[in-house]
Amino acid sequence: MTGVEIISYGHYAPERIVSNREIEARLGLEAGWIKRRTGIEERRYAADGEALSDIAVKAGDMALARTGFSRGDVGLLLLATSTPDHLLPPSSPLVAHRLGLANAGAIDMAGACAGFIYALTLADCFVRTQGTPVLVIAANILSRRINEADRASCVLFADAAGAVLLAPSARAEAGIQGAHLAAKGEHYDLITIPGGGSRKPFSKIRDPQDVLMVMNDGKAVYAAAVDMMTECAEKALAKAGMSTAEVDHLIPHQANERMMNTLAHQLHVPPERLRSTIENFGNSSAATIPFTLSATAADRPYAAGETILMTAAGAGLTGGAAVFRL
């Protein structure tokens, strides 16, 4: 068995900045309402004509360009997204083609906010068993799915992409040390886009808002997500035979600042070990973890042998956590 290294990472956020002031004015909220409740100051929205595949390619290209690695050696592209270019075909083959991954398989993974954790876990297994590099990209354009009348969700969501390139390592101790994946379908309806699937196809849609996101109970989402993220993190650490005292960096799904701080407190992780980008980039679902991993690296570089704890929960509910040794 071989180890697995993250040999490079990349990220991308669109140029358009959307401030809280703009959203608060639209919703009739007092100034500062969003920041006090979410920790978000601004977020990015994709430009007109900018598609999911476009931002995924930019993050993936950054990760690939940072190494002297041959793109022809990548064996698999995993694209975690809830906002593909089209319902069919999947977006990943197009992304792989545009990145020059001539010898790679490619598949979309729809795991909502936990999609990157699922993709990372699968990628680690593929690298170990097949001895071939894997590019994982998580990307979303949630601005096109926002229901502007749904205050609970429209203040949170944003557009961004993050990527990691995994490769075999001679260091057997590198890679995922423990992972735990979870699903709680009893909470299936807490976050939904009602129309457009086989349950309610486009031909049956009468209200255009049925293809936009709705958070039916914000308090219930908060409680269920914190519980799931904490439980998954504790189980992943137990599988790794580690305690939170051995965690160098905590990168949770950037859902909102209060949730992240609550999670860190419950896991007994000191605030200085928590990495966050939520204030300036908001919640881009599955993209938040790899985006944060990459975007914070310049100011806070990682070192070989350090351990990252990543945990997420999202619609479905789907969730998971991974303990990764660099």
Give alpha helix (H) positions in the chain: 20-27, 33-38, 52-65, 92-98, 115-130, 151-154, 218-240, 257-267, 278-281, 288-295
Q: Which of 140, 147, 256, 283 is catalytic?
A: 283
Is 125 designated active site?
A: no
Q: Where do we find the tokens 């502007």?
A: 148
80 beta partners: 109, 138
Residue 323: φ, ψ to 5°: -105, 110
User: Which H/E stretch holds residue 4?
Assistant: strand 3-12
Is 113 designated active site?
A: yes
Residue 44 contacts residue 278 (beta carbons within 8 Å): no
CA angle, 311 then 314 then 316, to 5°: 130
Cis bond upstream, residue 89 (ω within 30): yes
Q: Which of 11, 20, 113, 180 is catalytic?
A: 113
Q: Which of 232, 249, 253, 256 is catalytic?
A: 253
Q: Where do we find the tokens 């908001």?
A: 282
Is 154 designated active site?
A: no
Supply the residues annotated as catalytic.
113, 253, 283
